[in-house]
Amino acid sequence: MRLLIRLLQRLAIFGLGIFSVWLIVFVVFETADRRLPWILAVSIAYGFGAYIVLPRVIRLGLRILQHKRVPSYTITGDGLPGDPVNVALVGTLQQLRSAFAISGWSEADRLGLASSWGMIRAFVLNRPYPTAPFSTLYLFGRGQDIGFQKAIDDSPRKRHHIRFWALSPSRAQATWGDAGFWQNTDRPPDNERVLWVGAGTRDTGLSFTRLSFQITHATDSDTNAERDHIIAELTKNRTIEAVEIFQSGQNLLTEHVNHYVPDGEIALANLVSDAR
């Protein structure tokens, strides 16, 4: 029975792939090519395929393949695995903001038309944009609650950055293997002391996303090194304390949090109440 189900899944994925190629090449491109110069037809076909067709087809395909599975990483808008969780901080929103501000990090602007256009201009012209927006990644059924970044050599193309999702103590005590734990969309109040689950990476330049070929930042694959860098900066500025490193499969034990298991190693620390 499992072999039959797997075969049907693969046939469905194959069918989606054939449909995508047909729609992009034989419908969109050929239609545009009959009315517009070749270069414009290619651009329209690329934009339609990379930003409209393929993201939806990928999400549908992953729903077929990952039915009833619990995600191990943050999830991109296309439904693909995103940045791994590698940092967890315990404290309030104000403590979190203060910790990164003291360490010279900037809070990312909310993603919108104006901020996206500003990011494009900064990226093309290589001009500083200290509060550049982040693309949206998903964890616990919602996009990141807040993000921080620090440019490398004042370049918008290279930066240290981290996204955070707030998790209330009551939710953090749930069993990680329960799908409801990951799909919870409730955000705790800003003044509550919570677990801030973070995914930190280092941007290194320009790249294309897998499968959908969208233009995005390239990231350093060594997320452990970025985790260590973030923790080192916060420690140097005395904004965190009681740092511990946990292996996958272990519980994160804090005064309020009893159970949380990420995919890989994660650094856990308490935010200092009166950081200076």
Nearest to 147 by CA among 202, 187, 94, 110: 110
Confidence band for 182, pLDDT divided at 50, 70 and 90 = low
Residue 11 has pLDDT above 60, yes or no: yes
127-177 residue pLDDT tens: 888 888 888 888 877 889 999 999 988 877 788 999 999 987 666 555 444
Confidence band for 259, pLDDT divided at 50, 70 and 90 = very low
Segment 184-212 mean pLDDT:
74
Cβ-proximal residues to 271 (8 Å cutoff; 6+ apart), any chain: 89, 90, 91, 92, 95, 96, 99, 239, 240
Q: Please, are residues 96 and 273 in contact by the beta-carbon 8 Å criterion?
A: no
Where exactly are the structural domains of the chain? 2-65, 87-271
Confidence band for 239, pLDDT divided at 50, 70 and 90 = very high
pLDDT higher at 254 or 202: 202
61-92 residue pLDDT tens: 655 554 443 345 787 776 667 788 888 899 99
> What values do phi and psi take at 198, rounded to 5?
-120, 150
What is the DSSP code string of 97-166? HHHHHHTT-EEPPPPSHHHHHHHHHHHHHT---TT------EETTEE-SEEEEEEETTEEEEEEEEEEEE
What dihedral do alpha carbons 51, 62, 166, 134 form, nearest 10°?
A: -20
For strands 266-271 and 87-91, give the pairing: parallel
